[in-house]
Amino acid sequence: MTAMSHVAEISRSAVPILFKAACPDCRARFELSAGALRLAIGASPRTTFYSFTCPECEAPVRKPAGERIIELLTGGGVRTLRLHSTV
């Protein structure tokens, strides 16, 4: 077995990563896949956040993302948008 086929085999058998989240509007708690989350990394803490739509009440949710959250989300395959300032 080559290294690449071993990696492919692990990828096929890997369990999808789920992230625990909560909605501030309806207070529901749930798990979301990486595809349900978006991460935006800006130049400041104010412009660095993750977002999702609550699966219970369908409210849009936006929460600040610190260094640890960024690390967990990017490592878990969450799509990331890097915001650039225009100077």
Inter-residue contact 61 to 73 (CB < 8 Å): no
Residue-by-residue pLDDT tens, the chain, 87 positions: 444 444 444 445 567 899 999 999 999 999 999 999 999 999 998 899 999 999 999 999 999 999 999 999 999 999 999 987 655
Going by the DSSP 8-state scheme, the letter that residue 43 receives in this structure is S
Can you give the pTM of this predicted structure?
Answer: 0.76
